[in-house]
């Protein structure tokens, strides 16, 4: 075991005592180092992310996308329609206090404070590929817990067939909602068996820290075998329903954005091919993998389905 003596330690390697004691100041300093990007204001949850288990559901061997790229190149129309605006404008989002209502076709509806949600299951790091419908991709070390933990505690009734998710609606905090780009609030949905799959998680952090606002703080969905817009951000409601939800992009343009939106290189977007993708930080494109590379785990969910018709 190698132990550094005080004389061997460079001043630059020493954490200043005031920074060590004040995690919020540390997070704010990190934000400045990343170019002034918006980080969440719930330092207590940041402490909660200190003990994070390693999950077996990882993109093994994949090179992680740097935090500066994950946190500066985002789709989050509530804060702007280009990829760079969310990192600059999402500081207006207040992530404490925050609550998530679980309701609908359940026997035990409940509204959880974010602190209580974090107690439902141990947090894990899940290294997932993220594939966006525009053709770019990342590898992100999310921190979260299975969505199924929330659903099981709600005890779905026999009528529950789908899960509908809703983002916060507050144009004062989310200036992009002042523009009618979409019919706000943002809504997404999964089939119940998809939502119960162990790969589907509710993420509260990345790279071991709390989620930056522009990445969906304080809690977001991550469904790694689907295109990124299915992984709804800043969730305030989870509702179990009998009928298939009408998601925001389906409502805006059903010919381009269907309900399932599984990553499928054989089904092109009407305006571009999905056969290849460009990983952020790389110059050359790579082949897109069916189900984003998670086919061994999730393909059985769609046995017998025509995935060109139900795209």
Give the domain ranges of the chain. 48-248
pLDDT per residue as tens digits for the range 87-116: 999 999 999 999 999 999 999 999 999 999
Q: Which string of b and e fits 191-218 if b means at least 16 CB within 10 Å?
A: bbebbbbebbbbbbbbbebbbbbbbbbb
Q: What DSSP string runs through 149-166?
A: HHHHHH-B-TT--EEEEE
Chain length of the chain: 311
181 Cα distance to chain centroid: 21
Per-position pLDDT tens, the chain of length 311:
443 333 433 333 333 333 323 334 334 434 433 445 575 554 444 444 767 988 888 887 899 999 999 999 999 999 999 999 999 999 999 999 999 999 999 999 999 999 999 999 999 999 999 999 999 999 999 999 999 999 999 999 999 999 999 999 999 999 999 999 999 999 999 999 999 999 999 999 999 999 999 999 999 999 999 999 999 999 999 999 999 999 999 999 999 999 999 999 999 999 999 999 999 999 999 999 999 999 999 999 999 999 999 99
pLDDT on residue 13: 35
pLDDT on residue 41: 54
Tell which residue, 192, 126, 205, 202, has the closest CA to residue 161. Answer: 192
Tell which residue, 225, 209, 227, has the closest CA to residue 217. Answer: 209
* pTM to 2 decimal places: 0.86
pLDDT on residue 40: 59
- Residues 85, 287: Cα–Cα separation, whole Å: 29
pLDDT on residue 49: 78
- Residues 75, 86: Cα–Cα separation, whole Å: 8
pLDDT on residue 227: 98
Tell which residue, 98, 82, 48, 126, has the closest CA to residue 234. Answer: 98
Residue 142: HSE in the Cβ half-sphere, 13 Å Cα cutoff? 31
Q: Give the phi and the psi of residue 85 in degrees, each rounded to 5.
A: -65, -40
pLDDT on residue 166: 98
Q: Which string of b and e fits 90-113 if b means at least 16 CB within 10 Å?
A: bbebbbeebebebbbbbeeeeebe
Q: What DSSP string runs through 53-101?
A: EEPS---TTPPPPPHHHHTTS---GGG-SSSSHHHHHGGG---SS-EEE
Confirm if 119 and 175 have CB atoms less than 8 A apart.
no
Tell which residue, 32, 105, 102, has the closest CA to residue 71. Answer: 32
- Residues 150, 173: Cα–Cα separation, whole Å: 27
β-bridge mates for residue 61, sequence order: none
Q: What's 48-248's CATH class?
A: alpha beta
Confirm if 261 and 225 have CB atoms less than 8 A apart.
no
């Amino acid at each position: 075991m190698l132990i550094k003596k005080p004389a061997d330690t460079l001043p630059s390697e020493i954490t200043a005592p005031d920074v060590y004691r004040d995690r919020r100041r540390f997070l704010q300093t990190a934000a400045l180092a990343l170019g002034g990007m918006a980080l969440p204001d719930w330092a207590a949850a940041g402490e909660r992310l200190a003990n994070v288990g390693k999950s077996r559901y990882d993109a093994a061997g994949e090179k992680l996308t740097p935090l500066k790229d994950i946190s500066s190149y985002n789709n989050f129309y509530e804060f702007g329609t280009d990829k760079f605006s969310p990192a600059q404008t999402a500081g207006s989002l207040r992530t404490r206090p925050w609550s998530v209502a679980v309701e609908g076709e359940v026997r035990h509806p409940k509204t959880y404070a974010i602190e209580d949600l974090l107690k439902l299951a141990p947090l894990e790091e899940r290294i997932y590929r993220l594939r966006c419908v525009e053709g770019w991709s990342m590898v992100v070390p999310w921190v979260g817990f299975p969505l199924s933990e929330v659903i099981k505690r709600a005890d779905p009734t026999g009528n529950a067939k789908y899960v509908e998710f809703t983002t916060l609606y507050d144009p004062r905090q989310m200036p992009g909602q002042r523009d009618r780009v979409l019919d706000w609030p943002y809504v997404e949905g999964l089939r119940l068996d998809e939502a119960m799959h162990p790969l589907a998680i509710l993420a509260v952090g990345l790279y071991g820290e709390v989620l930056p606002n522009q990445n969906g703080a304080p809690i977001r969905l991550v469904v790694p075998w689907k295109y990124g817009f299915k992984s709804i951000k800043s969730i305030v409601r989870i509702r179990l329903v009998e009928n298939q939800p009408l998601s925001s992009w389906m409502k805006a343009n059903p010919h381009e954005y269907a309900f399932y939106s599984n990553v499928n290189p054989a089904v092109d977007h009407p305006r571009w091919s999905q056969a290849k993708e460009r990983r952020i930080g790389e110059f050359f494109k790579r082949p897109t993998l069916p189900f984003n590379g998670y086919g061994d785990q999730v393909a059985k969910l769609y046995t017998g389905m025509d995935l060109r018709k139900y795209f």
